[in-house]
């Protein structure tokens, strides 16, 4: 089977809000929010005695009006747990855009759920997201990404879980995440090697907007596509920090126009206002302009 990553449609994933499926009020509120994606959580945020209730809540929610312009992801419990199989059955019945598998440690974890989806004839549109939140997950990030792109090509996205990673490593929750940055960059490198997206970890203090903004800007600079969020008040900051500014969009449009000029036909490098621009920059510019178009479309819905 080919190991090349298939072409995927770009999705906006600047703000990925996690909502406990046990909280019916929070589920309904997602209709009003400006996040790009919603993770409906059946795992960590739901107590053991309320797992069945959370699944029933999701059944009811998905039977109602659809979310407009938002990607829907259901985070299930591990398939090895006593709840995982029931969660996955629910995913197959509801057909969200993706299923999020917690604590992915090795390629076999992705291959196992890929096989389950294939055996159930799940639609190709049902994708897989992976929580990378353990030392083994970080060490195996590249192997997980590679295997996921060859196992039915359903793997789309990594989500970093630093709370669990800190717990298992003893790294303290310090501003700037100095001792975590090498691991974060390892995740970014793995996803870029195999054509996936990466979502940065949650910022726990939802009242500290300055701290959230600094961490979002750092995550954006590191190459993450967006931020996993735990509170609606965090959405605006994430959308802004992982969004685009007018200067960058204008420059991208200028690059596209420069290569579209008949005089640039057959050239790999052009002179753009005294700056040499390569054709690889054209590909980047096209992606940026496409993202700007998606953001504009979100604002009109």
Note the pTM of the prediction, 2 decimals.
0.90
Which residues make up each annotated binding site for substrate?
75, 133
Point out which residues pair with 158 in neighbouring strands: 130, 198
Phi-psi region of 205 (alpha: psi -120 to 50; beta: other; left: phi over 0): beta
The four Cα atoms 180, 181, 187, 189 give a dihedral, to 10 degrees, of -160
Per DSSP, 19 falls in state E
Q: What is the mean pLDDT of residues 119-144?
A: 96
Task: Give the residue extent of every domain in the chain.
Answer: 15-241, 246-299
184-195 pLDDT per residue, tens: 999 999 999 999
Start-to-end CA distance of the chain, whole Å, equals 40
As annotated, the binding site includes: 75, 133, 164
Query: Which class does domain 15-241 fall in?
Result: alpha beta
Q: What are the backbone dihedrals phi and psi of residue 99, each rounded to the nearest 5 degrees, phi first?
A: -115, 135
Could you count the other beta carbons within 10 Å of the beta carbon of residue 229?
29
Question: pLDDT tens for residues 6-47?
Answer: 345 678 999 999 999 999 999 999 999 999 999 999 999 999
Q: How many Å apart are CA 272 and CA 291, to the nearest integer?
A: 22
The DSSP call for residue 233 is G
pLDDT digits (tens, 9 = 90+) for 52-106: 999 999 999 999 999 888 999 999 999 999 999 999 999 999 999 999 999 999 9
Residues in binding site for Mg(2+)? 133, 164
């Amino acid at each position: 089977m080919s190991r090349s990553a298939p072409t995927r449609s770009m999705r906006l994933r600047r703000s990925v809000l996690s909502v406990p499926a046990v909280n019916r009020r929070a589920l309904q509120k997602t209709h009003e929010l400006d996040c790009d994606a919603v993770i409906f959580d059946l795992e960590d945020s739901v107590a053991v005695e309320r797992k069945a209730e959370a699944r029933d809540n999701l059944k009811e929610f998905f039977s109602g009006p659809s979310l407009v312009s938002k990607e829907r992801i259901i985070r299930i419990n591990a398939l090895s747990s006593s709840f995982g199989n029931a969660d996955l059955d629910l995913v197959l019945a509801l057909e969200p855009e993706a299923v999020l598998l917690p604590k992915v440690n090795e390629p076999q974890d992705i291959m196992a759920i890929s096989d389950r989806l294939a055996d159930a004839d799940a639609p190709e549109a049902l994708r897989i997201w992976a929580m990378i939140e353990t030392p083994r997950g970080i060490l195996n990030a590249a192997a997980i990404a590679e295997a996921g792109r060859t196992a039915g090509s359903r793997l789309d996205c990594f989500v970093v879980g630093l709370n669990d990673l800190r717990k298992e490593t003893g790294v303290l929750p310090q501003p700037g995440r100095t001792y975590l940055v090498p691991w974060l960059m390892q995740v970014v490198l793995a996803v870029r090697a195999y054509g996936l997206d990466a979502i940065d970890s949650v910022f726990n203090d939802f009242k500290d907007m300055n701290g959230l903004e600094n961490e979002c800007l750092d995550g954006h600079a590191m190459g993450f596509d967006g931020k996993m969020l735990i509170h609606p008040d965090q959405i605006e900051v994430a959308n802004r920090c992982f969004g685009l500014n007018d200067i960058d969009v204008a420059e991208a449009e200028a690059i596209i126009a420069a290569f579209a000029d008949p005089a640039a036909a057959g050239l790999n490098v052009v002179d753009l206002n005294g700056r040499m621009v390569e054709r690889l920059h054209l590909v980047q510019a096209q992606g940026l302009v496409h993202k700007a178009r998606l953001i504009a479309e979100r604002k009109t819905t």
